[in-house]
Structure 1
Amino acid sequence: MELYFWLAACGTLAGVTTVLFGFGGGFVVVPLLYQALTHLRGPEAQTASHAMQIAVATSTCVMIFGSAMATAKHQRAGSLDWTAIKPLLVSIAIGSALGAATAVAVQGNWLRWAFVVYVGLTIVDCWLRPGFLSQPAQAARPARARTAWVGVAIGWVAALLGVGGSVMTVPLLRRRGASMTGATAMASPLSLPVALAGTATYVVLSWGGMTNLGRGYVGYVDLRAFLALVSGSYVGIRLATPYIGRIPDQVHARVYVGLLIAVEVSMLLG
Protein backbone atom coordinates (compact mmCIF):
# COMPACT_ATOMS: atom_id res chain seq x y z
CA MET A 1 0.00 0.00 0.00
CA GLU A 2 2.86 2.36 0.79
CA LEU A 3 4.04 2.01 -2.81
CA TYR A 4 0.76 3.41 -4.14
CA PHE A 5 0.83 6.43 -1.82
CA TRP A 6 4.34 7.08 -3.17
CA LEU A 7 3.10 6.72 -6.73
CA ALA A 8 0.26 9.17 -6.06
CA ALA A 9 2.72 11.72 -4.65
CA CYS A 10 4.98 11.36 -7.69
CA GLY A 11 1.90 11.49 -9.92
CA THR A 12 1.42 15.03 -8.65
CA LEU A 13 4.84 15.91 -10.07
CA ALA A 14 3.83 14.24 -13.34
CA GLY A 15 0.70 16.41 -13.47
CA VAL A 16 2.73 19.59 -12.97
CA THR A 17 5.23 18.71 -15.71
CA THR A 18 2.41 17.62 -18.05
CA VAL A 19 0.84 21.07 -17.95
CA LEU A 20 3.98 23.21 -17.84
CA PHE A 21 6.41 21.17 -19.96
CA GLY A 22 4.24 18.91 -22.11
CA PHE A 23 5.61 15.74 -20.54
CA GLY A 24 5.19 13.87 -17.31
CA GLY A 25 3.26 10.79 -18.28
CA GLY A 26 6.42 9.19 -19.60
CA PHE A 27 9.48 11.03 -18.39
CA VAL A 28 8.28 10.91 -14.79
CA VAL A 29 6.18 7.74 -14.73
CA VAL A 30 8.44 5.35 -16.69
CA PRO A 31 11.56 5.77 -14.48
CA LEU A 32 9.39 5.79 -11.36
CA LEU A 33 7.53 2.58 -12.16
CA TYR A 34 10.67 0.88 -13.44
CA GLN A 35 12.42 1.61 -10.13
CA ALA A 36 9.39 0.44 -8.13
CA LEU A 37 9.01 -2.83 -10.02
CA THR A 38 12.70 -3.74 -9.98
CA HIS A 39 13.73 -2.53 -6.52
CA LEU A 40 10.78 -1.96 -4.19
CA ARG A 41 9.11 -5.25 -5.14
CA GLY A 42 12.39 -7.08 -5.47
CA PRO A 43 14.12 -8.64 -8.48
CA GLU A 44 12.57 -12.04 -7.71
CA ALA A 45 9.02 -10.75 -8.27
CA GLN A 46 7.24 -11.93 -11.40
CA THR A 47 6.86 -8.33 -12.54
CA ALA A 48 10.62 -7.66 -12.50
CA SER A 49 11.36 -9.38 -15.81
CA HIS A 50 8.59 -7.35 -17.48
CA ALA A 51 9.31 -4.15 -15.54
CA MET A 52 10.06 -1.91 -18.52
CA GLN A 53 7.07 -3.11 -20.55
CA ILE A 54 4.75 -2.60 -17.55
CA ALA A 55 6.20 0.86 -16.90
CA VAL A 56 5.83 1.92 -20.54
CA ALA A 57 2.31 0.48 -20.97
CA THR A 58 1.03 1.95 -17.68
CA SER A 59 2.63 5.29 -18.51
CA THR A 60 0.89 5.31 -21.88
CA CYS A 61 -2.45 4.59 -20.19
CA VAL A 62 -1.91 7.38 -17.63
CA MET A 63 -1.30 9.75 -20.55
CA ILE A 64 -4.93 9.35 -21.65
CA PHE A 65 -6.05 11.19 -18.53
CA GLY A 66 -3.15 13.63 -18.27
CA SER A 67 -3.08 14.73 -21.90
CA ALA A 68 -6.88 15.10 -22.08
CA MET A 69 -7.05 17.22 -18.95
CA ALA A 70 -4.00 19.30 -19.88
CA THR A 71 -5.47 19.90 -23.36
CA ALA A 72 -8.68 21.22 -21.80
CA LYS A 73 -6.70 23.55 -19.51
CA HIS A 74 -4.59 24.91 -22.39
CA GLN A 75 -7.68 25.34 -24.57
CA ARG A 76 -9.27 27.51 -21.89
CA ALA A 77 -6.02 29.47 -21.58
CA GLY A 78 -6.00 30.08 -25.37
CA SER A 79 -2.51 28.62 -25.89
CA LEU A 80 -3.34 25.99 -28.55
CA ASP A 81 -2.74 26.42 -32.30
CA TRP A 82 -4.95 23.77 -33.88
CA THR A 83 -3.68 24.54 -37.40
CA ALA A 84 -0.31 23.08 -36.35
CA ILE A 85 -1.84 20.19 -34.40
CA LYS A 86 -4.47 18.70 -36.72
CA PRO A 87 -2.12 17.57 -39.57
CA LEU A 88 -0.21 15.35 -37.11
CA LEU A 89 -3.03 13.63 -35.22
CA VAL A 90 -3.80 10.66 -37.50
CA SER A 91 -0.19 9.89 -38.42
CA ILE A 92 0.85 10.01 -34.76
CA ALA A 93 -1.89 7.51 -33.88
CA ILE A 94 -0.64 5.13 -36.63
CA GLY A 95 2.93 5.45 -35.42
CA SER A 96 1.82 4.84 -31.82
CA ALA A 97 0.23 1.51 -32.67
CA LEU A 98 3.45 0.46 -34.45
CA GLY A 99 5.58 1.61 -31.50
CA ALA A 100 3.51 -0.30 -28.94
CA ALA A 101 3.70 -3.45 -31.07
CA THR A 102 7.49 -3.07 -31.25
CA ALA A 103 7.78 -2.65 -27.46
CA VAL A 104 5.82 -5.85 -26.81
CA ALA A 105 8.16 -7.77 -29.10
CA VAL A 106 11.52 -6.68 -27.63
CA GLN A 107 13.33 -7.48 -24.39
CA GLY A 108 12.74 -5.18 -21.42
CA ASN A 109 16.44 -4.41 -20.89
CA TRP A 110 16.79 -3.34 -24.53
CA LEU A 111 13.80 -1.06 -24.05
CA ARG A 112 15.39 0.52 -20.98
CA TRP A 113 18.62 1.33 -22.82
CA ALA A 114 16.69 2.64 -25.81
CA PHE A 115 14.96 5.04 -23.40
CA VAL A 116 18.31 6.13 -21.92
CA VAL A 117 19.92 6.67 -25.34
CA TYR A 118 16.94 8.58 -26.71
CA VAL A 119 16.67 10.94 -23.75
CA GLY A 120 20.45 11.51 -23.91
CA LEU A 121 20.31 12.43 -27.59
CA THR A 122 17.40 14.76 -26.94
CA ILE A 123 19.33 16.57 -24.19
CA VAL A 124 22.36 17.04 -26.44
CA ASP A 125 20.19 18.19 -29.34
CA CYS A 126 18.27 20.74 -27.25
CA TRP A 127 21.41 22.07 -25.58
CA LEU A 128 23.80 22.29 -28.52
CA ARG A 129 21.72 22.77 -31.68
CA PRO A 130 20.54 26.35 -32.22
CA GLY A 131 16.84 27.10 -31.97
CA PHE A 132 15.70 25.54 -28.71
CA LEU A 133 17.15 27.48 -25.78
CA SER A 134 16.33 30.75 -27.54
CA GLN A 135 13.28 31.30 -29.71
CA PRO A 136 14.03 31.48 -33.47
CA ALA A 137 12.25 33.51 -36.08
CA GLN A 138 9.05 31.98 -37.42
CA ALA A 139 9.82 29.39 -40.08
CA ALA A 140 7.65 27.98 -42.84
CA ARG A 141 5.55 24.93 -42.03
CA PRO A 142 6.72 21.65 -43.62
CA ALA A 143 4.80 20.16 -46.51
CA ARG A 144 1.81 17.96 -45.56
CA ALA A 145 3.42 14.73 -46.85
CA ARG A 146 6.53 15.37 -44.79
CA THR A 147 4.39 16.25 -41.78
CA ALA A 148 2.62 12.87 -42.03
CA TRP A 149 5.92 10.97 -41.94
CA VAL A 150 7.11 13.10 -39.04
CA GLY A 151 3.90 12.20 -37.20
CA VAL A 152 4.44 8.46 -37.72
CA ALA A 153 7.99 8.76 -36.37
CA ILE A 154 6.81 10.76 -33.36
CA GLY A 155 4.07 8.25 -32.57
CA TRP A 156 6.38 5.26 -32.95
CA VAL A 157 9.03 6.62 -30.57
CA ALA A 158 6.45 7.97 -28.11
CA ALA A 159 4.58 4.68 -27.69
CA LEU A 160 7.73 2.53 -27.86
CA LEU A 161 9.27 4.38 -24.91
CA GLY A 162 6.07 5.50 -23.17
CA VAL A 163 7.05 9.17 -23.23
CA GLY A 164 4.22 10.83 -25.11
CA GLY A 165 4.98 12.99 -28.11
CA SER A 166 6.44 15.96 -26.26
CA VAL A 167 10.09 14.97 -26.50
CA MET A 168 9.87 15.28 -30.29
CA THR A 169 7.05 17.78 -30.79
CA VAL A 170 8.32 20.42 -28.35
CA PRO A 171 11.77 20.77 -30.02
CA LEU A 172 10.12 20.54 -33.48
CA LEU A 173 7.56 23.27 -32.77
CA ARG A 174 10.14 25.32 -30.88
CA ARG A 175 12.42 25.43 -33.93
CA ARG A 176 9.46 26.43 -36.09
CA GLY A 177 9.05 29.61 -34.05
CA ALA A 178 6.76 28.57 -31.21
CA SER A 179 7.26 29.90 -27.69
CA MET A 180 7.83 27.33 -24.94
CA THR A 181 4.29 27.98 -23.70
CA GLY A 182 2.89 27.31 -27.18
CA ALA A 183 5.11 24.29 -27.87
CA THR A 184 4.41 22.58 -24.55
CA ALA A 185 0.70 23.36 -24.85
CA MET A 186 0.50 21.68 -28.26
CA ALA A 187 2.33 18.61 -26.92
CA SER A 188 -0.74 17.74 -24.82
CA PRO A 189 -3.29 17.14 -27.63
CA LEU A 190 -0.56 15.46 -29.70
CA SER A 191 0.04 13.03 -26.81
CA LEU A 192 -3.63 12.00 -26.74
CA PRO A 193 -3.55 9.85 -29.93
CA VAL A 194 -0.31 8.31 -28.62
CA ALA A 195 -2.06 7.40 -25.38
CA LEU A 196 -5.22 5.99 -26.97
CA ALA A 197 -3.65 4.00 -29.82
CA GLY A 198 -0.66 2.88 -27.74
CA THR A 199 -2.71 1.67 -24.77
CA ALA A 200 -5.13 -0.26 -26.99
CA THR A 201 -2.23 -1.95 -28.76
CA TYR A 202 -0.42 -2.85 -25.51
CA VAL A 203 -3.58 -4.39 -24.05
CA VAL A 204 -4.51 -6.38 -27.16
CA LEU A 205 -1.03 -7.76 -27.87
CA SER A 206 -0.10 -8.61 -24.27
CA TRP A 207 -3.44 -9.84 -22.93
CA GLY A 208 -2.98 -13.59 -23.43
CA GLY A 209 0.44 -14.06 -21.85
CA MET A 210 0.15 -11.82 -18.80
CA THR A 211 -1.96 -13.98 -16.46
CA ASN A 212 1.17 -14.83 -14.46
CA LEU A 213 1.48 -11.22 -13.32
CA GLY A 214 -1.50 -11.70 -11.01
CA ARG A 215 -4.63 -9.69 -10.37
CA GLY A 216 -4.70 -5.98 -11.03
CA TYR A 217 -3.21 -6.14 -14.52
CA VAL A 218 -4.84 -5.69 -17.91
CA GLY A 219 -2.14 -6.93 -20.23
CA TYR A 220 0.94 -4.99 -19.19
CA VAL A 221 -1.10 -2.16 -17.61
CA ASP A 222 -0.86 -2.08 -13.79
CA LEU A 223 -4.34 -0.85 -12.84
CA ARG A 224 -3.51 -0.04 -9.20
CA ALA A 225 -0.49 2.01 -10.22
CA PHE A 226 -2.64 3.66 -12.90
CA LEU A 227 -5.27 4.77 -10.36
CA ALA A 228 -2.65 6.08 -7.93
CA LEU A 229 -0.84 8.02 -10.64
CA VAL A 230 -4.04 9.48 -12.10
CA SER A 231 -5.15 10.66 -8.65
CA GLY A 232 -1.84 12.43 -8.13
CA SER A 233 -1.81 13.81 -11.68
CA TYR A 234 -5.20 15.43 -11.16
CA VAL A 235 -3.87 17.34 -8.16
CA GLY A 236 -0.68 18.34 -10.01
CA ILE A 237 -2.55 19.61 -13.07
CA ARG A 238 -4.85 21.71 -10.90
CA LEU A 239 -1.87 23.18 -9.04
CA ALA A 240 0.08 24.01 -12.21
CA THR A 241 -2.73 25.51 -14.30
CA PRO A 242 -2.44 29.09 -12.88
CA TYR A 243 1.19 29.22 -14.08
CA ILE A 244 0.44 28.56 -17.78
CA GLY A 245 2.17 31.29 -19.81
CA ARG A 246 3.79 32.94 -16.78
CA ILE A 247 7.27 31.36 -16.95
CA PRO A 248 9.87 33.43 -18.88
CA ASP A 249 10.59 31.75 -22.21
CA GLN A 250 14.32 31.05 -21.82
CA VAL A 251 13.88 29.93 -18.20
CA HIS A 252 11.11 27.59 -19.41
CA ALA A 253 13.41 26.08 -22.05
CA ARG A 254 16.33 25.58 -19.64
CA VAL A 255 14.17 23.96 -16.97
CA TYR A 256 12.78 21.62 -19.65
CA VAL A 257 16.31 20.43 -20.46
CA GLY A 258 17.15 20.22 -16.75
CA LEU A 259 14.21 17.90 -16.12
CA LEU A 260 15.34 15.66 -18.98
CA ILE A 261 18.79 15.44 -17.37
CA ALA A 262 17.19 14.40 -14.05
CA VAL A 263 15.24 11.65 -15.81
CA GLU A 264 18.38 10.43 -17.58
CA VAL A 265 20.32 10.21 -14.33
CA SER A 266 17.48 8.30 -12.69
CA MET A 267 17.39 5.66 -15.43
CA LEU A 268 21.19 5.31 -15.52
CA LEU A 269 21.34 4.78 -11.76
CA GLY A 270 18.56 2.21 -12.01
Structure 2
Amino acid sequence: MTFLSLLAIGLLTGLTTVLFGFGGGFVAVPVVVWADASLGPDAVRVATATSALVMVVNAAFATAVTPRPVLAALRGSGPLLLLLAAGASAGALLTRHAPPDLVRWAFVLYVVLTVVDLLLRPGFLRPHAPAGTTRAAPRPLPAAVGVPVGAVAAFLGVGGSVLTVPAMRRAGHTMRVAASLANPLTLAIALPATAVFLAGAGSTVAADAAHGDLVGLVDPRAAAALLLGALPVIAVLRRRPPRVPDRVHAWTYVALLGAVAVAMVLSG
Protein backbone atom coordinates (compact mmCIF):
# COMPACT_ATOMS: atom_id res chain seq x y z
CA MET A 1 0.00 0.00 0.00
CA THR A 2 1.52 3.32 -1.08
CA PHE A 3 2.04 6.42 1.04
CA LEU A 4 -0.62 8.22 -1.03
CA SER A 5 -3.11 5.41 -0.39
CA LEU A 6 -2.50 5.65 3.34
CA LEU A 7 -2.85 9.44 3.12
CA ALA A 8 -6.24 9.05 1.43
CA ILE A 9 -7.40 6.58 4.06
CA GLY A 10 -6.21 9.06 6.69
CA LEU A 11 -8.93 11.39 5.41
CA LEU A 12 -11.49 8.72 6.33
CA THR A 13 -9.81 8.34 9.72
CA GLY A 14 -10.30 12.04 10.39
CA LEU A 15 -13.96 11.76 9.41
CA THR A 16 -14.57 8.81 11.75
CA THR A 17 -12.79 10.63 14.58
CA VAL A 18 -15.21 13.54 14.38
CA LEU A 19 -18.42 11.70 13.53
CA PHE A 20 -18.03 8.52 15.58
CA GLY A 21 -15.27 9.08 18.14
CA PHE A 22 -13.03 6.50 16.45
CA GLY A 23 -9.62 8.07 16.96
CA GLY A 24 -8.38 5.89 14.15
CA GLY A 25 -8.42 2.41 15.62
CA PHE A 26 -11.17 0.64 13.74
CA VAL A 27 -10.09 2.11 10.42
CA ALA A 28 -6.34 2.04 11.04
CA VAL A 29 -5.98 -1.58 12.19
CA PRO A 30 -7.13 -3.36 8.99
CA VAL A 31 -5.43 -0.72 6.83
CA VAL A 32 -2.03 -1.12 8.52
CA VAL A 33 -2.42 -4.92 8.40
CA TRP A 34 -2.66 -4.56 4.62
CA ALA A 35 0.18 -2.01 4.46
CA ASP A 36 2.52 -4.23 6.49
CA ALA A 37 1.49 -7.56 5.01
CA SER A 38 5.19 -8.37 4.49
CA LEU A 39 5.46 -8.89 8.25
CA GLY A 40 3.26 -11.95 8.05
CA PRO A 41 1.53 -12.82 11.34
CA ASP A 42 3.23 -9.90 13.13
CA ALA A 43 1.38 -7.40 10.92
CA VAL A 44 -1.63 -7.39 13.24
CA ARG A 45 0.52 -6.50 16.27
CA VAL A 46 2.22 -3.70 14.35
CA ALA A 47 -1.21 -2.51 13.20
CA THR A 48 -2.51 -2.44 16.78
CA ALA A 49 0.51 -0.46 17.97
CA THR A 50 0.44 1.97 15.04
CA SER A 51 -3.27 2.47 15.57
CA ALA A 52 -2.62 3.46 19.19
CA LEU A 53 -0.18 6.18 18.11
CA VAL A 54 -2.61 7.50 15.50
CA MET A 55 -5.34 7.59 18.13
CA VAL A 56 -3.19 9.58 20.56
CA VAL A 57 -2.70 12.39 18.05
CA ASN A 58 -6.19 12.33 16.54
CA ALA A 59 -8.00 12.08 19.88
CA ALA A 60 -5.83 14.77 21.47
CA PHE A 61 -6.45 17.16 18.60
CA ALA A 62 -10.18 16.40 18.47
CA THR A 63 -10.45 16.91 22.23
CA ALA A 64 -8.59 20.22 22.06
CA VAL A 65 -11.04 21.64 19.53
CA THR A 66 -14.19 20.28 21.21
CA PRO A 67 -16.36 22.99 22.83
CA ARG A 68 -15.82 23.20 26.60
CA PRO A 69 -19.55 22.86 27.40
CA VAL A 70 -19.56 19.45 25.72
CA LEU A 71 -16.48 18.26 27.62
CA ALA A 72 -18.09 19.42 30.87
CA ALA A 73 -20.12 16.20 30.78
CA LEU A 74 -16.93 14.36 31.82
CA ARG A 75 -16.38 16.53 34.90
CA GLY A 76 -15.60 14.31 37.88
CA SER A 77 -14.46 11.41 35.67
CA GLY A 78 -10.88 11.41 37.01
CA PRO A 79 -11.12 7.90 38.54
CA LEU A 80 -12.56 6.55 35.28
CA LEU A 81 -9.71 8.05 33.25
CA LEU A 82 -7.08 6.60 35.60
CA LEU A 83 -8.62 3.14 35.46
CA LEU A 84 -8.90 3.33 31.66
CA ALA A 85 -5.16 4.09 31.54
CA ALA A 86 -4.34 1.22 33.91
CA GLY A 87 -6.38 -1.24 31.86
CA ALA A 88 -4.81 0.04 28.64
CA SER A 89 -1.29 -0.58 29.95
CA ALA A 90 -2.19 -4.19 30.77
CA GLY A 91 -3.90 -4.71 27.41
CA ALA A 92 -0.93 -3.34 25.48
CA LEU A 93 1.50 -5.59 27.35
CA LEU A 94 -0.70 -8.57 26.54
CA THR A 95 -0.78 -7.66 22.84
CA ARG A 96 3.02 -7.69 22.66
CA HIS A 97 3.10 -11.34 23.71
CA ALA A 98 -0.23 -12.74 22.47
CA PRO A 99 -0.37 -14.94 19.34
CA PRO A 100 -1.11 -12.67 16.36
CA ASP A 101 -4.04 -14.78 15.19
CA LEU A 102 -5.65 -14.40 18.61
CA VAL A 103 -5.49 -10.61 18.29
CA ARG A 104 -6.92 -10.68 14.75
CA TRP A 105 -9.89 -12.93 15.50
CA ALA A 106 -10.57 -11.29 18.84
CA PHE A 107 -10.85 -8.00 16.93
CA VAL A 108 -13.35 -9.51 14.48
CA LEU A 109 -15.38 -11.19 17.24
CA TYR A 110 -15.47 -8.00 19.29
CA VAL A 111 -16.82 -5.97 16.38
CA VAL A 112 -19.40 -8.58 15.38
CA LEU A 113 -20.73 -8.91 18.94
CA THR A 114 -20.93 -5.13 19.20
CA VAL A 115 -22.93 -4.88 15.99
CA VAL A 116 -25.34 -7.58 17.19
CA ASP A 117 -25.75 -5.80 20.53
CA LEU A 118 -26.46 -2.45 18.87
CA LEU A 119 -29.02 -3.99 16.53
CA LEU A 120 -30.90 -6.06 19.10
CA ARG A 121 -30.71 -4.20 22.42
CA PRO A 122 -32.79 -1.02 22.79
CA GLY A 123 -31.18 2.29 23.57
CA PHE A 124 -28.80 2.84 20.67
CA LEU A 125 -30.81 2.72 17.44
CA ARG A 126 -34.05 3.08 19.40
CA PRO A 127 -33.39 5.48 22.29
CA HIS A 128 -35.58 5.09 25.35
CA ALA A 129 -36.30 8.82 25.37
CA PRO A 130 -35.47 11.81 23.20
CA ALA A 131 -31.82 12.70 23.64
CA GLY A 132 -32.60 16.28 24.61
CA THR A 133 -34.52 15.21 27.70
CA THR A 134 -31.51 13.73 29.48
CA ARG A 135 -28.57 15.61 28.01
CA ALA A 136 -28.70 18.31 30.71
CA ALA A 137 -28.12 15.69 33.41
CA PRO A 138 -26.16 12.86 31.75
CA ARG A 139 -25.47 9.67 33.61
CA PRO A 140 -21.67 9.34 33.83
CA LEU A 141 -19.93 6.10 33.00
CA PRO A 142 -19.09 4.19 36.19
CA ALA A 143 -15.38 4.13 37.07
CA ALA A 144 -15.57 0.35 37.49
CA VAL A 145 -15.72 -0.15 33.71
CA GLY A 146 -12.36 1.60 33.26
CA VAL A 147 -10.02 -1.38 33.60
CA PRO A 148 -11.91 -3.85 31.36
CA VAL A 149 -12.68 -1.22 28.70
CA GLY A 150 -9.09 0.03 28.70
CA ALA A 151 -7.65 -3.49 28.53
CA VAL A 152 -9.86 -4.67 25.66
CA ALA A 153 -9.43 -1.42 23.72
CA ALA A 154 -5.64 -1.45 23.96
CA PHE A 155 -5.37 -5.18 23.26
CA LEU A 156 -7.31 -4.76 20.01
CA GLY A 157 -6.10 -1.25 19.13
CA VAL A 158 -9.63 0.14 18.94
CA GLY A 159 -9.54 3.01 21.43
CA GLY A 160 -12.63 2.09 23.41
CA SER A 161 -15.13 4.22 21.50
CA VAL A 162 -17.14 1.15 20.49
CA LEU A 163 -17.92 0.64 24.17
CA THR A 164 -18.11 4.24 25.33
CA VAL A 165 -20.20 5.69 22.46
CA PRO A 166 -23.07 3.19 22.89
CA ALA A 167 -22.96 3.63 26.67
CA MET A 168 -23.23 7.41 26.41
CA ARG A 169 -25.87 7.08 23.72
CA ARG A 170 -27.96 4.94 26.05
CA ALA A 171 -27.44 7.54 28.77
CA GLY A 172 -29.39 9.95 26.57
CA HIS A 173 -26.73 11.79 24.56
CA THR A 174 -27.07 12.47 20.86
CA MET A 175 -24.63 10.66 18.59
CA ARG A 176 -22.78 13.93 18.02
CA VAL A 177 -22.15 14.52 21.73
CA ALA A 178 -21.35 10.85 22.44
CA ALA A 179 -18.75 10.82 19.66
CA SER A 180 -17.18 14.03 20.97
CA LEU A 181 -16.92 12.64 24.51
CA ALA A 182 -15.35 9.43 23.21
CA ASN A 183 -12.21 11.28 22.13
CA PRO A 184 -10.87 12.25 25.60
CA LEU A 185 -11.67 8.74 26.83
CA THR A 186 -9.78 7.31 23.84
CA LEU A 187 -6.84 9.55 24.70
CA ALA A 188 -6.70 8.12 28.23
CA ILE A 189 -6.45 4.64 26.71
CA ALA A 190 -4.14 5.34 23.78
CA LEU A 191 -1.44 7.28 25.68
CA PRO A 192 -0.26 4.49 28.01
CA ALA A 193 -0.82 1.85 25.32
CA THR A 194 1.42 3.75 22.89
CA ALA A 195 4.12 4.11 25.54
CA VAL A 196 4.13 0.32 26.02
CA PHE A 197 4.22 -0.34 22.27
CA LEU A 198 7.10 2.11 21.74
CA ALA A 199 9.12 0.68 24.61
CA GLY A 200 10.10 -2.55 22.92
CA ALA A 201 9.50 -4.57 19.81
CA GLY A 202 8.34 -7.93 21.08
CA SER A 203 7.99 -9.10 17.48
CA THR A 204 9.74 -11.99 15.78
CA VAL A 205 13.24 -11.86 14.32
CA ALA A 206 11.73 -12.41 10.87
CA ALA A 207 9.51 -9.38 11.29
CA ASP A 208 12.40 -7.20 12.41
CA ALA A 209 14.42 -8.25 9.37
CA ALA A 210 11.54 -7.55 7.00
CA HIS A 211 10.67 -4.17 8.47
CA GLY A 212 13.70 -2.68 10.19
CA ASP A 213 12.27 0.84 10.45
CA LEU A 214 9.76 -0.04 13.17
CA VAL A 215 9.95 2.01 16.37
CA GLY A 216 9.09 -0.55 18.98
CA LEU A 217 6.03 -2.10 17.38
CA VAL A 218 4.95 1.12 15.64
CA ASP A 219 5.25 1.71 11.89
CA PRO A 220 6.06 5.46 11.84
CA ARG A 221 5.65 5.78 8.06
CA ALA A 222 2.11 4.42 8.09
CA ALA A 223 1.24 6.51 11.16
CA ALA A 224 2.57 9.70 9.55
CA ALA A 225 0.57 9.13 6.36
CA LEU A 226 -2.66 8.46 8.26
CA LEU A 227 -2.18 11.53 10.46
CA LEU A 228 -1.35 13.83 7.55
CA GLY A 229 -4.67 12.87 6.03
CA ALA A 230 -6.70 12.94 9.25
CA LEU A 231 -5.69 16.13 11.05
CA PRO A 232 -6.86 18.66 8.42
CA VAL A 233 -10.22 16.87 8.22
CA ILE A 234 -10.64 17.02 12.00
CA ALA A 235 -9.79 20.73 12.01
CA VAL A 236 -12.33 21.54 9.29
CA LEU A 237 -15.16 19.36 10.57
CA ARG A 238 -14.84 20.56 14.16
CA ARG A 239 -15.30 24.13 12.95
CA ARG A 240 -18.09 23.23 10.53
CA PRO A 241 -19.61 19.97 11.76
CA PRO A 242 -21.88 18.22 9.26
CA ARG A 243 -25.56 18.14 10.15
CA VAL A 244 -26.47 14.46 10.19
CA PRO A 245 -29.89 13.33 11.49
CA ASP A 246 -29.39 11.45 14.75
CA ARG A 247 -30.98 8.19 13.58
CA VAL A 248 -28.97 8.23 10.33
CA HIS A 249 -25.86 8.92 12.39
CA ALA A 250 -26.53 5.89 14.60
CA TRP A 251 -27.23 3.55 11.67
CA THR A 252 -24.07 4.73 9.88
CA TYR A 253 -22.08 3.91 13.03
CA VAL A 254 -23.36 0.32 12.95
CA ALA A 255 -22.77 -0.01 9.20
CA LEU A 256 -19.19 1.20 9.57
CA LEU A 257 -18.49 -1.40 12.25
CA GLY A 258 -19.80 -4.11 9.97
CA ALA A 259 -17.63 -2.93 7.09
CA VAL A 260 -14.54 -2.89 9.30
CA ALA A 261 -15.18 -6.46 10.49
CA VAL A 262 -15.39 -7.62 6.86
CA ALA A 263 -12.20 -5.71 5.99
CA MET A 264 -10.33 -7.35 8.86
CA VAL A 265 -11.41 -10.82 7.75
CA LEU A 266 -10.37 -10.12 4.15
CA SER A 267 -7.00 -8.72 5.26
CA GLY A 268 -6.11 -12.17 6.58
In the superposition, the TM-score normalised over structure 1's length comes to: 0.88
TM-superposed deviation, 1:153: 1.0
Indicate the residue corresponding to 1:79 in structure 2: 70
Q: The residue matched to 1:28 in structure 2 has which SS?
A: helix
Q: Any idea what the Cα deviations from partners look like across 1:225-251, whole Å, max 9, x if unmatched?
A: 111111011122134224537222111
The 5 Å alignment of 1:188-267 reads 188-206=183-201, 211-244=208-241, 246-267=243-264
How many residues end up aligned between the 2 structures?
A: 258
Q: 54-63 or 126-135: which moved more?
A: 126-135
Runs of 4+ in 1 over 4 A off after TM superposition: 207-211
Q: 10-19 or 213-222: which moved more?
A: 213-222
Q: 84-93 or 111-120: which moved more?
A: 84-93
The answer as to whether partners of 2:23 and 2:183 remain within 8 angstroms in 1 is: no
Take 1:186 and 1:258, find their aligned partners in 2: how far apart are those partners? 21
The 5 Å alignment of 1:140-159 reads 141=139, 147-159=142-154
The 5 Å alignment of 1:2-41 reads 3-38=2-37
Q: Give the letter aligned to residue 19 of structure 1.
A: V
Cα 1:177/1:185, change in 2 over 3 Å: same
Q: The residue matched to 1:217 in structure 2 has which SS?
A: coil
The 5 Å alignment of 1:56-205 reads 56-75=48-67, 78-80=69-71, 81-83=73-75, 85-137=77-129, 138=134, 141=139, 147-205=142-200
RMSD of aligned residue pairs (Cα, Å)? 2.1
Q: 3-12 or 112-121: which moved more?
A: 3-12
Q: Give the letter aligned to residue 255 of structure 1.
A: T
Cα 1:153/1:243, change in 2 over 3 Å: farther
The answer as to whether partners of 1:85 and 1:190 remain within 8 angstroms in 2 is: no
Take 1:61 and 1:141, find their aligned partners in 2: how far apart are those partners? 30
Take 2:159 and 2:216, find their aligned partners in 1: how far apart are those partners? 19
The answer as to whether partners of 1:15 and 1:66 remain within 8 angstroms in 2 is: yes
Take 2:179 and 2:220, find their aligned partners in 1: how far apart are those partners? 28
Take 1:72 and 1:140, find their aligned partners in 2: how far apart are those partners? 21
Q: The residue matched to 1:23 in structure 2 has which SS?
A: coil
Question: Any gaps of 5 or more consecutive residues in structure 2?
Answer: none
Cα 1:86/1:251, change in 2 over 3 Å: farther
TM-superposed deviation, 1:169: 0.3
Take 2:94 and 2:202, find their aligned partners in 1: how far apart are those partners? 15
Take 2:78 and 2:251, find their aligned partners in 1: how far apart are those partners? 28
TM-superposed deviation, 1:140: 7.6
Take 1:20 and 1:71, find their aligned partners in 2: how far apart are those partners? 13
Percent of aligned positions that are identical: 45
Take 1:79 and 1:136, find their aligned partners in 2: how far apart are those partners? 22
The answer as to whether partners of 1:61 and 1:199 remain within 8 angstroms in 2 is: yes
Q: Any idea what the Cα deviations from partners look like across 1:104-146, whole Å, max 9, x if unmatched?
A: 111111111000000000101111100001333449847x8xx
Indicate the residue corresponding to 2:47 in structure 1: 55
Cα 1:113/1:121, change in 2 over 3 Å: same
TM-superposed deviation, 1:83: 2.3
Q: Any idea what the Cα deviations from partners look like across 1:147-194, whole Å, max 9, x if unmatched?
A: 232011111111001111201000111111111111111100001111
Take 1:64 and 1:28, find their aligned partners in 2: how far apart are those partners? 14
Q: The residue matched to 1:206 in structure 2 has which SS?
A: coil
Cα 1:140/1:183, change in 2 over 3 Å: closer
Q: Any idea what the Cα deviations from partners look like across 1:33-86, whole Å, max 9, x if unmatched?
A: 112222xxxxxx3x223100000000001111100111122236x432222744
In the superposition, the TM-score normalised over structure 2's length comes to: 0.89
Question: Any gaps of 5 or more consecutive residues in structure 1?
Answer: 39-44
Take 2:240 and 2:70, find their aligned partners in 1: how far apart are those partners? 12
